[in-house]
Structure formats: structure tokens, C-alpha cells
Amino acid sequence: MGSARLAAKRGVDAVARAERDVQRQAERIRELFLAAAVTAASAEEQIAETVALGCRLVGCEAGAVFELDRAVDDESPVPERLCRLGLGTEGTLALDDLQGLPYIAADDDGKPSGFVAYIGAPIMVRGVVVGTLNFATKQQREEPFSETDRDLVQLISALIGSAIDRRRSRERLRRLAYFDTLTGLPNRVQFVERLRETVTGIVSAGERRRLAVVFLDLDHFKEINDTFGHGRGDAVLSVVGERLRERVGDRGMVARMSGDEFAVLLERGPDLEEVDAFAESLRAAIDAPIVIGGYEQYATASIGVSIYPEDGTDAETLVKHADVAMYRAKEKGRNFVQFYTPVLNAAMTTRLQQEKALRKALARSEFLVYYQPQFELATGKLFGIEALVRWHHPKLGLIRPDLFIPNAESSSVIVLIGELVMEMACQQLVKWQRRGLPELRVSVNLSARQFHETDLLKRARSVLESTGLDPQTLEFEITESVAMDDAERSTEIMRTLRDVGIRFCLDDFGTSYSSLGYLKSFPIDTLKIDQSFVRDIMTEQDDATIVRTVIAMAHNLGLDVCAEGTETEDQLNFLRQNTCDRVQGYFYSRPVPPEEFERFVDDALAAKQPAQSEAGSAV
Ligand code: C2E
Ligand code: CA
Ligand code: CA
């Protein structure tokens, strides 16, 4: 063949090849378009499908996307070094018959890669190279990669770029949708979703695990914001979020629910006492001073807890009940941990249902009486005990009276509970007298209904008779407001009981009327100064003055004074200096069950001094 013919033939071949290429390319692009038009469920799926299709269209058995900001995928069929080849290039890099070239002779761990041909292109997202798209083959190719191959790879790479862009937008959106921007914590949506998933997981696995939902709401946060500005408010929220995150660690999830509200999901099958201790530790963590720009800032939180499955078997109910409990904690003076109990949820539970629960508890003998000792200040002698009711709920454990007494008071069930306590306390005292315990007085709290609506004298007599207790050792505690409600009749009732020998103590003195005129006419023996005054006598000048005045005034009227809620030695000394007669409080002992009280007395007798009790099991 002459050189001219050869050239002509080459020309024809080239034209034919070009025509063939154009046709093939049109088909390939149509296929690519069709694939791209079908939106895959996720960007990730779309990338995978596009790479797989690309392999076929380019004629390679291996294809991979290598992204710069992602960990290298070990499963990737194309070694990393090969992928990196495409990074620095503009357009497409195609290397045919690469065998022998050092960079692809072996793959990343030194084994021969076996790839002989490679084509790749950078992937751009919004003008920035974010990775490369790579195809490689171990087959010897008949022809080198052509311009149209390169164009195709660029098109595929652009498609993948847009899929990555879509994925990144979604991730950004997800961050915005699922995280709180200020603290970086998960937000309410994520919290509820995770709670829902966890509950579903427990149910479908047939587990009997518990979960705890802890709601925390900062107290008086608005004041911080208003007084110190939003910048300071935000800083406080960040610190609180960080402290919670540290405290919770891998035991569960912390979320910022809204403004100054956080929530914790405890997942590691906690028992109730653990949850209680844990919630307390969260409270204490927030309570610690927060230093911002050299200034100390103080924040406290009111905390509500609900437990799966006791307080709800779905996410919404658990969240709602934790919230109800949190509000209750606020009502109780803030900086407080409150468990949800069914009786709390006045909105959901009708009064009738609450009453039913309490009646059932009565029928099942779930009420217990705890005892808290009272001491004579001058001598340090054990003087008496106050009977304080507890509800031992089969599921919720021990419930403090302030959680059910207010509900009980709205119906006659309080009378039944009160009479039960009176009877149990009297019985217990007689039992102790027989055992030879020192002479004690027992104080029993009376509710308004018990005092005003029952024949108290008759009931008291019948209990005294059946137990054989000396009436002189029985004392009733009523609050000022109970006494002041129809003061004349109240005076009359007290007088009839006093005639039998029973004494009266005015409880929580200072919290309501404090009407001195009536105080004089009430036939009472003792004033009990409310613990809210005692709590602050060392720090609040006013409270110290009030306590001093009340003691002096009571003594003038010939009354004894008992200070409740005495927790520290300083308070004790203050009260002693101001000639308070008796004290009661955690300094000596919490209210404890009868057996523990016996041990307490035995120990105190042995030591001849009223010992401080570490009554751990008490509430
Ligand atoms: P209360 O009659 O004022 O009883 C004193 C409360 O103060 C008790 O709470 C006791 O545990 C707590 N307390 C004692 N010492 C300290 C202390 O040093 N520091 C602090 N922070 N607290 C101390 P509890 O036992 O939870 O009783 C709460 C209230 O429930 C009682 O207040 C009383 O109003 C009512 N309650 C208890 N038992 C009965 C009952 O049998 N009948 C009626 N009607 N009400 C009862
Ligand atoms: Ca009392
Ligand atoms: Ca009291």
C-alpha cells in the first residue's frame, strides 16, 4: 500500500471511528441522562449507581469516588494512590498501559495492583475540588482512552459532584434540623426521635429495661438575660450544656429542648435510686458557679424525671410527664429534683382516679410511718418524735407525703390516711414504751378535714383506748391556717381534746397569718417555727430577727418553741443562744423507719449523747 493510500485509509478509518464514536457517545449520554433523571432515594445511592453505570460505559471493571474530606474506604476497588492521580489535573487524566509505572505498580499496601489502564477526573463542588472520580481496569485495552471517553468521565464526575453537593446540603440541613446551633447539642426533634427509637427497640427486643427522661429548666433564666444581656445568657446556656454533656457521657443523650430547657435520656437500664442520685448530680453540676469573663454567675435548675415504662410507654407521654414533674419542681421552690408520679398529673388523672389510687393504697396497706426525733436544746435529751407518713408504692417506691397529701386533702381519703397514721404512731409508741425506751412524746399531723370535719375527740379516744397510750404523750400538729379557719370553733375543738390530756402544736409557724391576738387564745402548748426561717438564720438578718422575736414572744405567752429543719451546728448554736426549747432536723436525723429509730436510740443511749444519724435509707 502506497503512503497516500495508507493516509487515505487512515483518514477513512478516522472518520469511521469518529462517526462510530459520536453515535456511541450519544447512546452513552442518553443512558447517563436517564440514570441521572431517576432520583435515587439518597445522594449516596445515586453516587454508587452512577459509578457503577460509569464503569460499564467507560469499559472498566473498577470504579470509585475518592473524597478528600472523608475517611478512605478500605473496600474501594481502586487504590488510594491511583485515585489521587486525578486530583491535581484539570480535566481528565487517562493513562493507558500504566504497567511498570511506580505509582500504580502496587496498591496502597504494597501488593501489585494489576491495573493496567486508568481514567479519572476531579470532582468539583461549587468551584472547589472535593475529590476524584476514578475508573481502572486490569484488562489490556484495544484502544487508548479517547477524547469522548474523557468527556464522558467529566460528565459523570459533574453528576457525582452535584450528588455530593446535594448530600452536603442535606447534611447541613440535618445539622440545622437536628442540632441546636448555640450549644451544638441535639435538639428537641432529635431527642424525641431517639427516645422513640429506643422505646421501640426495647419493645421489639422484649427487653425489660428501664429508661429515664430527665427534664431540666433553668430557674430565673430570664433575669440573667434581662440583667446581664443575651450574650451572658448564651454563655450560661453553653456552659450548662457542656456540664450536662460531661456528666452524662456515654450513658445517654443530652439535648437542648428550647430556650433554657434541657433534657437527658438515660439509656443504661437505671434503677430508680440511681436515677435519683444521677438527677441530683446534674442539679449539683448546674448549681456550681459559672465563671464568665471573670465574673461568677449562678444558675440553678428545676428538674423533672419520668421513667419508662412506669410513667409512659411512648416518647410523647414520657416527655410530657417529665415536663409535668419539672413544673412541680418549680412550684416546690426550684433547684429541686421531682419524679413524676401518676397522682401528680392532675390534668390527665381525674380527682376520682387519684382518690381511687389512694384508697387502693390504703386497702393494700402501702402507707408507712417514719419517725423524726425532736431534742431538748438545753439538755440535749431526746424529747419526742414526729410521725410522718410515707407511701410505699409497689412500682414507684417510697413517695414523700408532699406528693400525695395535697391530692388526698381534696377528698375524704385524707381522713382515712390521717387516722391510720394516728393509730400506727400510737401503737408504735406503746410498743417502744414496753421495750423500755425513754419516755417520748409523739406528734401527729392533722389535716384540715380531720380537724374540722370529723369527730376528732371520738376518734382520738378510740385510738387511745385501743392502743392503751397515755394521752399526755400524744400531741397533734395543726397549721395556723387550719386553726384560723373558724378560729372560735377551732379553739373549742382544741379545748375538748386538751381536757383529755392531748396537746397541740402550731405547725409551720410564720408561713401564714401569724395573728398574735388569736395565738393568745388558742389552747396550744408549742409553736413550731417553720423550716424556711431556720434555713436562713445564719445568712438572712431578717430571718434571724424573726426567729429571735418569735421565741421571745412565744415564751411570753407561756409556749414552748420547736425549730424544725435544723440542719447545721451553727443553726443549732444560734437557736440555743436564743433559748429555743426544742429542735428537729437533719442535723440529728432525717425521718426514719421504726427499726432505724430503735437503732438510733440504742446508739444514742450507748453514747449518752444524741448522735447524728447517717440515716441513708430515709427520705
Ligand atoms: P411538716 O409537718 O412540716 O413536716 C416536716 C417536714 O420537714 C418533713 O417532711 C421532714 O422530713 C422535713 N424535715 C425535717 N427536718 C428537716 C431538715 O433538717 N431539713 C429539711 N430540708 N427538711 C426537714 P415530710 O416528711 O416530707 O413531710 C412533708 C409534709 O407532709 C409535712 O410537713 C406535713 O405537712 C405532711 N404530712 C406528713 N405526714 C402527714 C400525716 O400523717 N398527715 C398529714 N395530714 N400530713 C402529713
Ligand atoms: Ca408537722
Ligand atoms: Ca412543719
Distance CA 551, CA 580 (A): 6
Q: Determine the pLDDT at residue 75.
A: 78
Q: Does the beta carbon of 409 lie inside 6 Å of ligand 1? A: no
Q: Structural domain of residue 104, as residue ranges?
A: 25-176
Q: What cell numbers appear for 229 in the block?
A: 444581656
Determine phi and psi for 390, rounding to 5 degrees.
-135, 150
Which of 176, 208, 242 corresponds to the end of one domain? 176
Judged by its nearest atom, the ligand closest to the C-alpha of residue 612 is: 1
Report if residue 598 sits inside a domain. yes
3-class DSSP string for 161-219: HHHHHHHHHHHHHHHHHHECCCCCCEEHHHHHHHHHHHHHHHHHCCCCCCEEEEEEEEC
Same domain? For 370 and 264 the reply is no
Distance CA 460, CA 465 (A): 9
Q: Does the beta carbon of 178 lie inside 6 Å of ligand 1? A: no
Q: Does the beta carbon of 54 lie inside 6 Å of ligand 1? A: no
Identify residue 7 by its one-letter amino acid code.
A
- Nearest atom in ligand 1 to the alpha carbon of residue 370 is 25
CA dihedral 221, 223, 226, 230 (to 10 degrees): -20
Same domain? For 601 and 513 the reply is yes
Same domain? For 73 and 124 the reply is yes
CA 479 – ligand 2 centroid, Å? 8
Among protein residues, the one with the nearest Cα to ligand 1's atom 11 is 591
Q: Is 380 exposed, middle or buried (0-12, 13-18, 19+ CB in 10 A)?
A: middle
CA 564 – ligand 1 centroid, Å? 9
Using the predicted structure, report yes or no on whether residue 611 has a pLDDT greater than 50.
no
Report if residue 111 sits inside a domain. yes
Mutate to test the pocket of ligand 1, among 562, 564, 572, 586 (most ligand atoms within 8 A of CB): 564
Q: Does the beta carbon of 508 lie inside 6 Å of ligand 1? A: yes
Q: What is the largest CA-CA distance in the chain?
A: 144
Strands 290-292 and 295-297: antiparallel
Same domain? For 425 and 502 the reply is yes
Contact 317, 284 (CB under 8 A): no
Same domain? For 283 and 394 the reply is no
Distance CA 67, CA 124 (A): 11
Number of domains forming the structure of the chain: 3
Q: Determine the pLDDT at residue 189.
A: 86
Same domain? For 68 and 209 the reply is no
Q: Does the beta carbon of 421 lie inside 6 Å of ligand 1? A: yes
pLDDT tens readout for residues 137-195? 988 888 888 889 999 999 999 999 999 998 888 777 777 778 898 999 999 989 999 99
Report if residue 472 sits inside a domain. yes
Residue 618 binned pLDDT confidence (cut-offs 50, 70, 90): very low
CA 401 – ligand 1 centroid, Å? 7
Three-class secondary structure of residue 40 per DSSP: coil
pLDDT tens readout for residues 371-387? 999 999 999 999 999 99
User: CB within 5 A of ion ligand 3: which residues?
Assistant: 507-508
CA 236 – ligand 1 centroid, Å? 35
Strands 441-445 and 382-393: parallel
Q: Determine the pLDDT at residue 615.
A: 44
Residue 348 binned pLDDT confidence (cut-offs 50, 70, 90): very low
Mutate to test the pocket of ligand 1, among 339, 388, 597 (most ligand atoms within 8 A of CB): 388
Same domain? For 481 and 366 the reply is yes
Same domain? For 336 and 360 the reply is no
- 94's CB contacts (< 8 A; 6+ apart) are 117, 118, 119, 120, 144, 145, 149, 150, 153
CA 592 – ligand 1 centroid, Å? 12
Contact 405, 447 (CB under 8 A): yes
Among protein residues, the one with the nearest Cα to ligand 1's atom 23 is 565
Same domain? For 559 and 446 the reply is yes
Report if residue 3 sits inside a domain. no
Q: What is the pTM of this model?
A: 0.53
Q: Which of 444, 426, 383, 435 is nearest to 602 (CA)?
A: 435
Same domain? For 261 and 233 the reply is yes
Report if residue 145 sits inside a domain. yes
Q: Does the beta carbon of 388 lie inside 6 Å of ligand 1? A: yes
Same domain? For 537 and 391 the reply is yes
Contact 212, 267 (CB under 8 A): no
Strands 337-339 and 301-308: parallel
- 295's CB contacts (< 8 A; 6+ apart) are none
Contact 482, 476 (CB under 8 A): no
Q: Determine the pLDDT at residue 103.
A: 57
Angle 598-602-607 (CA atoms, 0-180°, nearest 5)?
145
For residue 309, cis peptide bond before it (omega within 30 degrees of 0): yes
Q: Determine the pLDDT at residue 395.
A: 60
- Tell me the average pLDDT of the chain: 86
Three-class secondary structure of residue 262 per DSSP: strand
Q: Does the beta carbon of 445 lie inside 6 Å of ligand 1? A: yes
Contact 212, 340 (CB under 8 A): no
Residue 97 binned pLDDT confidence (cut-offs 50, 70, 90): low
Q: 562: left (phi > 0), else alpha (psi -120 to 50), else beta?
A: beta
For residues 35-57, give the mean pLDDT. 83
CATH assignment at residue 308:
3.30.70.270
CA 451 – ligand 2 centroid, Å? 14
pLDDT tens readout for residues 190-248? 999 999 999 999 999 988 888 999 999 999 898 888 888 889 999 999 999 999 999 99
Report if residue 377 sits inside a domain. yes
Determine phi and psi for 504, rounding to 5 degrees.
-125, 145
